[in-house]
Amino acid sequence: MIPFNKPYLTGKETEYITDAVASGKISGNGKYTQKCQLFFEEKFGFKKALLTTSCTDALEMAAILINIKEGDEVIIPSYTFVSTANAFVLRGAKIVFADSMPNHPNIDATKLEGLITSKTKAIVPVHYAGVACDMDTIMELAQKHNLFVVEDAAQAIDSYYTGKDGIRKPLGAIGHLAAFSFHETKNIIAGEGGMLTINDEQFIERAEIIWEKGTNRSAFFRGEVDKYGWVDIGSSFLPSEIIAGFLWAQLENLTNIQAVRKQHWEVYHEELKTWCENNGVGLPQVPEYATNNGHMFYLVCQNMEQRTALIEKLRSQNIHPVFHYISLHSSPYYKDKHDGRVLAETDRFTDCLVRLPLFYELDVQLVIKNIKNV
């Protein structure tokens, strides 16, 4: 059987977990937490990186940091995971859903300005499949209307955006804040886990406090205060050293993991071209300003019936593709709160997009062979 996903282990995960346990420091913000955070700050230039127990937690921290409150509006794509919306709904925000681009599930930045009102507080672009949104347009709108930008970079580790100025920046380093995921379905994993990255220095001190349950505990351990106490709202957002140790083993192998995943992606793309043309199926597209990090390979079928047939035929051969998000604007929880706009591209991707297996140890040729027989 070829599953949709299979977590890849480098071989050092249990060694570092054992070391963390033996050190007597198993709770968060120990040696491995600090090694992981420093890795991201040095390699990708994030001003501050804070590991979290999930990407969801990182998004919730971002919502607190930008002071989302009852009545604020937050613009997000409808084609995303529920966590993108939940983080802001929990703070009382109204979600204003944006449509996808015609040729990519990413948010259509050209349609955003018409969604901005006096109540808009933030834009949350989601870098779907690790491919960058049009960040120049989004950041220009944010500056023009005095909005915050929180990048949902859950799928976007080690992916980049080249702006109009020609400067290449890592995703997660462009908006005011960003959130990453290390869930077992991602490129770099910790089972569960995430990270908040902070690019606007005004948020760094408060982020540490929120991260440490609303206390200035981090400052205390650095010797900056002689005692610590409750100084703000917060929660238990930081992960244990067991999670951080696992993650460190993955980060040591980032280059190799990425190279293999991107190679699988390229083989899919090259060898399925003719089959896709013959069957009216769309291949994933990567804009000139973006890079591909090998997170996901998907196909866009003509309709739901074609997608269902493809999935069923592959599963009959013990290959397990999956469809992806069901549009949030039509979800049972939010459809009555949505403003009624038709989001045609989002609905098309909901009905037509299918994700193929993609993981480190994948026999990609076997999947391709079976697709070509459909």
Rounded to whole angstroms, how far apart are CA atoms 154 and 179? 6
Taking the C-alpha atoms of residue 249 and residue 17, their distance in angstroms, rounded to an integer, is 9
135: β partners? none
The residue annotated as part of the active site, out of 31, 186, 262, 273, is 186
N- to C-terminal Cα distance for the chain? 18
Two structure tokens written together for 130: 């690790």
Name the residue among 219, 223, 193, 225 with its Cα closest to residue 206.
219
- Is residue 186 among the annotated active site residues? yes
If you write DSSP's letter for every residue of 327-339 in order, what string do you get? PGGGSTTTTTTS-
Contacts of 269 (CB under 8 A, 6+ apart): 283, 284, 297
Burial classification of residue 255, based on how many CB atoms lie within 10 Å of its CB (0-12 exposed, 13-18 middle, 19 or more buried): exposed
Q: Residue 95's closest CA among 66, 62, 120, 67?
A: 120
Cite the active site residues: 186
